[in-house]
Amino acid sequence: MPRPFRFGVNMLSPSPGDAWRAKCRRAEELGYDVILVPDHLGMPSPFPALVAAAEATTRPRVGTFVLNCAFWNPVLLAREVTTTEALTGGRLELGLGTGYVRDEFEQAGVPWGTPGSRVDHLEHTIAELDRLLASPEQGPRPPLLIGGNGDRMLRIAAERADIAAFTGARSAPNRPSGLQPLTPDELDGRVATYRKFAQDRAEPAEMNLLVQLVDVTEDRSAAARPWLERMPDLTERDVLESPLVLAGTVEEITAQLLERRERYGFSYITVLEPHHEALAPVIEALRGR
C-alpha cells in the first residue's frame, strides 16, 4: 500500500511580517501539508520564519529544507531546534544537508572543505543533536529529513532519516545553480542505492522529491523553453521527462505524480514558492490518494 501524498512548499522570498503570514495562510488554503524554508543567503532566516508560519496557520507542519550544516554549530543548533519545536507546538520537521553552493560558503566566511568533510560535519551534527535532545526535558527529536544523492549521504539517510529527500540533481560546479538534473534512469539508480542501504530498516522512510518546475498548461513544449534557454545542452524531451518537472494539464500532472510514486516511491512532493499556486488543483485531485 503506497503512502498517501503529502505536499510541501519551500518559501524562498523574504517578506515583511504581515505579508509573510498572509502567504503562509495562503499555502494552507491551497492544501499544502508542510511550509518549508531553505537555508540560503538572501532568503528567509529559517527558524524565525518557521515560528511565524506556525503562528499564522493551524494545520501545516513547518520545516527546514534543508539546513546547510556547515553554517551551524550543533550545540547552538540544538537550542534553535528546541525553541522552535516548542513555539510551533511540535509541528517542526528538521531537514539537514551539507550545502552545495560554494559562493555562499565564501560569502559567509565558512571553509568550503571537501565533500567528505562536509558529510563528516553533517554526521557529527546528527549525533550531537541526538545526544543533546535526548533528555526528558527536551522531548523527542523532531522528524529528521536528510537531503542528498551521493552514496554516503544515501547511507546516512537510510540509517538515520525519517524522511529521505532526493534533489533529482547532481553536483555541477560550472552551473549557476551548482546542480545538473538527473535523468529518470539516473534517479532510478540513486533510489535503488538508497533502498539497498535501507533494506534492514524496521520502518520505511518517507520519500521526498523536490520539484523545480510546475506548469499547468496544454502546451508542454512551451513549458520546457525556459529550461532550454538556461541549459541548452538539454533537449525538450530531456526537460519534459525530468522527474524535476511537472508540466501538462491537471490530469497529466496528476498521472505524472502517481507514476513517480509507483516508480520511485516519492509520496512527499516539495515545490518552490513561485509554483505553489499552480500545483493547487493537482493537490486537490490527489488528496487522500
Digit-coded pLDDT (tens) for 248-283: 999 999 999 999 999 999 999 999 999 999 999 999
Angstrom distances, CA of residue 167 to CA of 51, 61, 130, 276: 25, 21, 25, 18
Per-residue pLDDT averaged across 126-144, rounded?
Answer: 86
Strand 61-64 relative to strand 67-68: parallel, antiparallel, unpaired? unpaired
> Who has greater pLDDT, 19 or 180?
19
The whole-model pTM stands at: 0.95
Query: What pLDDT shows up at residue 134?
Result: 87
Per-residue pLDDT averaged across 133-141, rounded?
Answer: 75
Digit-coded pLDDT (tens) for 37-94: 999 999 999 999 999 999 999 999 999 999 999 999 999 999 999 999 999 999 999 9
Closest by Cα among 11, 40, 12 to 102: 40
Whether residue 27 contacts residue 283, with contact meaning beta carbons closer than 8 Å, is answered with: no
High-pLDDT (> 90) share of the chain, %: 89
What is the C-alpha separation between 210 and 244, in angstroms, rounded?
Answer: 7
Query: What pLDDT shows up at residue 138?
Result: 65
Query: What pLDDT shows up at residue 224?
Result: 95
What is the C-alpha separation between 147 and 150, in angstroms, rounded?
Answer: 10
Per-residue pLDDT averaged across 100-125, rounded?
Answer: 97
Could you tell me the pLDDT band of residue 173, with boundaries at 50, 70 and 90? Answer: low
Whether residue 131 contacts residue 173, with contact meaning beta carbons closer than 8 Å, is answered with: no
What does the DSSP assignment read for 232-280? TTS-HHHHHH-TTEEEE-HHHHHHHHHHHHHHH---EEEEEGGGHHHHH
Query: What pLDDT shows up at residue 174?
Result: 66
The domains found in the chain, sorted by start residue, are: 6-286 (3.20.20.30)
